[in-house]
A and B are shown apart, each in its own frame.
Chain A
Amino acid sequence: DGGITQSPKYLFRKEGQNVTLSCEQNLNHDAMYWYRQDPGQGLRLIYYSQIVNDFQKGDIAEGYSVSREKKESFPLTVTSAQKNPTAFYLCASTIEGVGYTEAFFGQGTRLTVV
């Protein structure tokens, strides 16, 4: 079955530690996105990538980094510079070049600072 897989489902981070969230898709989609969701809030864009080896900052990129070495994979690293990382992180993908398609989401990773 085609889809987007995020792992892990739950992640705990100690103060000052970097952690990496995985996102893999087998939909052959060009574009991939990372969103952050805080309680009672909508989705805020962290980073997006429209093609391999290229990515752009979204609205809240500070303290995060990404890579796009393969079309299927778009990992997100939450660095120690992100002072308030506790949130629900969602990865999504779309077909690029066609303006009307919806985003497909992974199941999310809930990150908690301990």
Chain B
Amino acid sequence: QKEVEQNSGPLSVPEGAIASLNCTYSDRGSQSFFWYRQYSGKSPELIMSIYSNGDKEDGRFTAQLNKASQYVSLLIRDSQPSDSATYLCAVRGYGGSQGNLIFGKGTKLSVKP
């Protein structure tokens, strides 16, 4: 059974701080990695994708991938109250059933003004 693990939180950070969200996965054949943000009662929306080892930056968001350690993280700089949401880590293989997205249970982030 392929698994994606996240700390459920809640993770509480003050406004303007850096929020660090972590995710580990069990399948070494995983090819692509995603971070989704989900507000309460809403559907997930993609905020970052990463496919190769290293860092990928997009505005206030940085995704980090380490395939050797089977670890992916998301950093949110200058956190805002509007960033308060549940963040879902998702992992995908390649082709056929391996291409299905496997989700973690999510980390709830709370940014305090």
Contacts and interface: CB of A to CB of B under 8 A. Distances in A.
Interface of A: 31, 33, 35, 40-45, 48, 50, 56, 58, 88, 90, 92, 94, 96-97, 99-108, 110
Given A58-B100, A103-B90, A40 B44 contact: no
A105 B44 contact: yes
B62 interface: no
The 10 A-B residue pairs with the shortest CB-CB distance, nearest first, are A99-B94, A42-B105, A43-B103, A105-B43, A42-B103, A100-B32, A108-B43, A99-B31, A102-B46, A103-B101
A112 to B, nearest CB: 13
Contacts, number: 67
Contacts of B94: 99
A41 to B, nearest CB: 6
Interface in B48-103: 49, 51, 88, 90, 92-97, 99-103
Interface string B20-41: 0000000000011010000001
Contacts of A92: 101
A72 B34 CA distance: 24
Interface of B: 4, 6, 8, 31-32, 34, 41-46, 49, 51, 88, 90, 92-97, 99-106
A96 B100 contact: no
Contacts of A45: 100-102
Nearest to B90: A103
Contact of A99 (B32, B41, B103): B32
A43 B99 contact: no
Contact of B101 (A33, A40, A50, A107): A33
B90 to A, nearest CB: 7
Contacts of A58: 100
A109 B31 CA distance: 30
A96 B4 CA distance: 22
B99 A94 contact: yes
A42 B88 contact: yes
B24 to A, nearest CB: 14
